[in-house]
Amino acid sequence: MGARLLALAAVPLLAGGFVPAPQGSSSAKGTTAEQHVKREPAGDLAAKIYRDPTYGFSYKVPYGWVERTQEMQPTDSEPAKGKVLLAVFERPPEATGDSVNSAVVIAAEPKSSYPGLKSAADYTGPVTELATSKGFKAVGDPYEYSAGTKQLVRCDFDRRLGNLPMHQSTLILVQKQSIVSFTFLGGSEDEVNELVDGLNFAAARPSATKK
Protein backbone atom coordinates (compact mmCIF):
# COMPACT_ATOMS: atom_id res chain seq x y z
CA MET A 1 0.00 0.00 0.00
CA GLY A 2 1.53 3.31 -1.07
CA ALA A 3 1.72 6.41 1.09
CA ARG A 4 -1.03 8.06 -0.95
CA LEU A 5 -3.38 5.31 0.18
CA LEU A 6 -2.12 5.54 3.75
CA ALA A 7 -2.60 9.30 3.87
CA LEU A 8 -6.19 9.23 2.69
CA ALA A 9 -7.25 5.99 4.39
CA ALA A 10 -5.99 7.32 7.69
CA VAL A 11 -8.47 10.17 8.02
CA PRO A 12 -11.52 9.40 10.20
CA LEU A 13 -14.40 8.89 7.80
CA LEU A 14 -16.99 8.14 10.48
CA ALA A 15 -18.29 10.62 13.05
CA GLY A 16 -17.88 8.10 15.85
CA GLY A 17 -14.12 8.41 15.64
CA PHE A 18 -13.45 5.08 13.92
CA VAL A 19 -10.43 5.12 11.61
CA PRO A 20 -10.00 2.39 8.99
CA ALA A 21 -6.43 1.34 9.77
CA PRO A 22 -4.17 0.17 6.92
CA GLN A 23 -3.94 -3.57 6.48
CA GLY A 24 -1.18 -4.95 8.65
CA SER A 25 -1.01 -1.97 10.99
CA SER A 26 -0.92 -2.42 14.74
CA SER A 27 -3.54 -1.33 17.25
CA ALA A 28 -3.42 2.21 18.57
CA LYS A 29 -4.64 1.17 22.03
CA GLY A 30 -2.29 1.48 24.96
CA THR A 31 -0.03 4.09 23.31
CA THR A 32 0.54 7.75 24.04
CA ALA A 33 1.76 10.76 22.12
CA GLU A 34 4.70 10.96 24.53
CA GLN A 35 5.88 7.52 23.45
CA HIS A 36 5.75 8.52 19.81
CA VAL A 37 7.84 11.60 20.46
CA LYS A 38 10.61 9.40 21.82
CA ARG A 39 10.57 7.26 18.70
CA GLU A 40 10.27 10.17 16.25
CA PRO A 41 13.07 12.66 17.06
CA ALA A 42 12.37 14.71 13.92
CA GLY A 43 8.98 15.68 15.34
CA ASP A 44 9.28 18.05 18.28
CA LEU A 45 5.71 17.43 19.37
CA ALA A 46 6.55 18.28 22.96
CA ALA A 47 6.57 21.85 21.66
CA LYS A 48 3.60 21.08 19.39
CA ILE A 49 5.78 21.55 16.33
CA TYR A 50 6.65 18.78 13.87
CA ARG A 51 9.77 19.59 11.86
CA ASP A 52 10.85 17.67 8.80
CA PRO A 53 14.38 18.55 7.65
CA THR A 54 14.21 16.22 4.66
CA TYR A 55 11.43 18.16 2.93
CA GLY A 56 12.00 21.47 4.71
CA PHE A 57 8.62 22.02 6.34
CA SER A 58 7.15 22.32 9.81
CA TYR A 59 3.64 21.72 11.09
CA LYS A 60 2.12 23.31 14.18
CA VAL A 61 0.01 20.61 15.84
CA PRO A 62 -3.15 21.90 17.57
CA TYR A 63 -2.99 21.81 21.36
CA GLY A 64 -4.25 18.61 22.94
CA TRP A 65 -4.19 16.50 19.77
CA VAL A 66 -2.84 12.93 19.84
CA GLU A 67 -0.22 11.40 17.57
CA ARG A 68 -0.65 8.03 15.87
CA THR A 69 2.18 8.14 13.31
CA GLN A 70 3.65 4.73 14.12
CA GLU A 71 0.23 3.05 14.15
CA MET A 72 -0.46 4.24 10.60
CA GLN A 73 2.63 2.48 9.24
CA PRO A 74 2.04 -0.95 7.68
CA THR A 75 4.01 -3.71 9.38
CA ASP A 76 5.67 -4.59 6.06
CA SER A 77 6.66 -0.97 5.39
CA GLU A 78 9.54 -0.52 2.97
CA PRO A 79 11.16 2.75 1.84
CA ALA A 80 10.14 1.99 -1.74
CA LYS A 81 6.47 1.88 -0.71
CA GLY A 82 6.39 5.20 1.09
CA LYS A 83 5.98 6.29 4.69
CA VAL A 84 3.59 8.24 6.88
CA LEU A 85 5.56 11.18 8.27
CA LEU A 86 2.93 12.48 10.69
CA ALA A 87 -0.56 11.41 11.75
CA VAL A 88 -2.34 13.47 14.42
CA PHE A 89 -5.96 13.48 15.54
CA GLU A 90 -8.20 15.73 17.61
CA ARG A 91 -9.07 12.76 19.81
CA PRO A 92 -7.84 9.16 19.93
CA PRO A 93 -9.14 7.33 16.83
CA GLU A 94 -10.43 4.50 19.03
CA ALA A 95 -12.55 6.93 21.09
CA THR A 96 -16.17 7.44 20.06
CA GLY A 97 -17.74 10.85 19.54
CA ASP A 98 -20.64 12.65 17.91
CA SER A 99 -18.51 14.93 15.72
CA VAL A 100 -15.86 14.59 13.05
CA ASN A 101 -12.52 13.49 14.48
CA SER A 102 -10.41 16.14 12.77
CA ALA A 103 -7.05 14.92 11.53
CA VAL A 104 -3.84 15.79 9.75
CA VAL A 105 -1.90 13.07 7.91
CA ILE A 106 1.34 13.78 6.04
CA ALA A 107 2.94 11.06 3.91
CA ALA A 108 5.65 10.62 1.29
CA GLU A 109 6.20 8.07 -1.44
CA PRO A 110 8.70 7.67 -4.28
CA LYS A 111 8.07 9.60 -7.46
CA SER A 112 9.10 6.46 -9.32
CA SER A 113 5.82 4.84 -8.26
CA TYR A 114 4.14 6.94 -10.98
CA PRO A 115 5.99 6.64 -14.31
CA GLY A 116 5.71 9.82 -16.33
CA LEU A 117 4.79 12.02 -13.36
CA LYS A 118 6.55 15.35 -13.67
CA SER A 119 4.65 17.77 -11.43
CA ALA A 120 2.24 17.93 -8.49
CA ALA A 121 -0.60 18.57 -10.91
CA ASP A 122 -0.06 15.09 -12.38
CA TYR A 123 -0.83 13.62 -8.96
CA THR A 124 -4.28 15.18 -8.57
CA GLY A 125 -5.94 12.43 -10.59
CA PRO A 126 -4.99 9.57 -8.24
CA VAL A 127 -5.80 11.72 -5.18
CA THR A 128 -9.24 12.65 -6.51
CA GLU A 129 -9.99 9.08 -7.53
CA LEU A 130 -9.19 7.78 -4.06
CA ALA A 131 -11.08 10.55 -2.24
CA THR A 132 -14.21 9.98 -4.30
CA SER A 133 -13.97 6.25 -3.62
CA LYS A 134 -14.31 7.20 0.08
CA GLY A 135 -17.55 9.07 -0.59
CA PHE A 136 -16.13 12.57 -1.03
CA LYS A 137 -16.95 14.92 -3.90
CA ALA A 138 -14.47 17.31 -5.44
CA VAL A 139 -15.12 20.99 -4.71
CA GLY A 140 -13.94 22.86 -7.79
CA ASP A 141 -10.76 22.09 -9.69
CA PRO A 142 -7.28 21.60 -8.20
CA TYR A 143 -5.38 24.87 -7.84
CA GLU A 144 -2.00 26.26 -6.83
CA TYR A 145 -1.54 27.03 -3.15
CA SER A 146 1.29 28.88 -1.39
CA ALA A 147 2.63 27.55 1.92
CA GLY A 148 5.48 29.77 2.99
CA THR A 149 8.13 29.60 0.30
CA LYS A 150 6.61 26.65 -1.59
CA GLN A 151 3.97 26.40 -4.30
CA LEU A 152 1.83 23.28 -3.87
CA VAL A 153 -1.27 21.97 -5.61
CA ARG A 154 -4.43 21.75 -3.52
CA CYS A 155 -7.53 19.58 -3.95
CA ASP A 156 -10.67 20.22 -1.87
CA PHE A 157 -13.42 17.70 -1.13
CA ASP A 158 -16.55 17.41 0.97
CA ARG A 159 -19.17 14.83 1.92
CA ARG A 160 -22.01 14.32 4.37
CA LEU A 161 -22.45 11.47 6.79
CA GLY A 162 -26.13 11.80 7.62
CA ASN A 163 -26.46 15.42 8.76
CA LEU A 164 -22.77 15.67 9.56
CA PRO A 165 -20.66 17.69 7.09
CA MET A 166 -17.05 16.72 6.48
CA HIS A 167 -14.42 18.67 4.58
CA GLN A 168 -11.06 17.46 3.35
CA SER A 169 -8.15 19.15 1.61
CA THR A 170 -5.04 17.48 0.24
CA LEU A 171 -1.96 19.49 -0.67
CA ILE A 172 0.61 17.93 -2.99
CA LEU A 173 4.34 18.61 -3.24
CA VAL A 174 6.73 17.00 -5.70
CA GLN A 175 10.26 17.51 -4.47
CA LYS A 176 13.31 15.79 -5.91
CA GLN A 177 12.38 12.10 -6.15
CA SER A 178 9.45 12.16 -3.72
CA ILE A 179 5.76 13.00 -3.65
CA VAL A 180 4.57 14.44 -0.34
CA SER A 181 0.84 14.63 0.43
CA PHE A 182 -0.65 16.72 3.23
CA THR A 183 -4.22 15.65 4.06
CA PHE A 184 -6.45 17.69 6.39
CA LEU A 185 -9.94 16.75 7.57
CA GLY A 186 -12.40 18.72 9.68
CA GLY A 187 -16.04 19.45 10.30
CA SER A 188 -16.11 22.70 8.35
CA GLU A 189 -14.27 24.51 5.59
CA ASP A 190 -13.02 27.11 8.07
CA GLU A 191 -11.64 24.43 10.36
CA VAL A 192 -9.77 22.77 7.51
CA ASN A 193 -8.31 26.12 6.47
CA GLU A 194 -7.10 26.67 10.04
CA LEU A 195 -5.44 23.27 9.99
CA VAL A 196 -3.79 24.02 6.65
CA ASP A 197 -2.45 27.29 8.09
CA GLY A 198 -0.31 25.23 10.48
CA LEU A 199 1.87 24.11 7.56
CA ASN A 200 4.90 26.19 6.72
CA PHE A 201 7.92 25.93 4.47
CA ALA A 202 10.77 28.11 5.67
CA ALA A 203 13.24 29.75 3.36
CA ALA A 204 16.45 27.79 2.88
CA ARG A 205 19.37 29.00 4.91
CA PRO A 206 22.05 30.70 2.80
CA SER A 207 25.19 28.64 2.43
CA ALA A 208 28.34 29.94 3.98
CA THR A 209 30.69 31.61 1.52
CA LYS A 210 34.40 31.07 1.61
CA LYS A 211 36.53 34.12 2.06
At 124-177, the pLDDT tens digits run 988 898 888 888 999 999 999 998 889 999 999 999 888 889 999 999 999 888
What pLDDT was estimated at residue 38?
A: 33
Structural domain contains residue 147: yes
- Domain containing 92: what range? 3-201
Domains of the chain: total: 1
The verdict on residue 207 lying in a domain is no
pLDDT at 94 (0 to 100): 78
Residue in 181, 174, 57 with CA at minimum distance from that of residue 111: 174
Instruction: Say which CATH number the domain at 24 has.
Output: 3.40.1000.10
On whether residue 79 sits in a domain, the answer given is: yes
103 within some domain: yes
Within a domain: residue 165? yes
Task: Establish if 59 belongs to a structural domain.
Answer: yes
Confirm whether 11 is domain-assigned. yes
* Residue 175 located in a structural domain: yes
Quick one: pLDDT at residue 157?
95
CA distances from 85 to 2, 18, 76, 174, 202 (A): 13, 21, 16, 15, 18
Q: What is the pTM of this model?
A: 0.78
Name residues of the chain where pLDDT drops below 50: 1-7, 9-43, 207-211
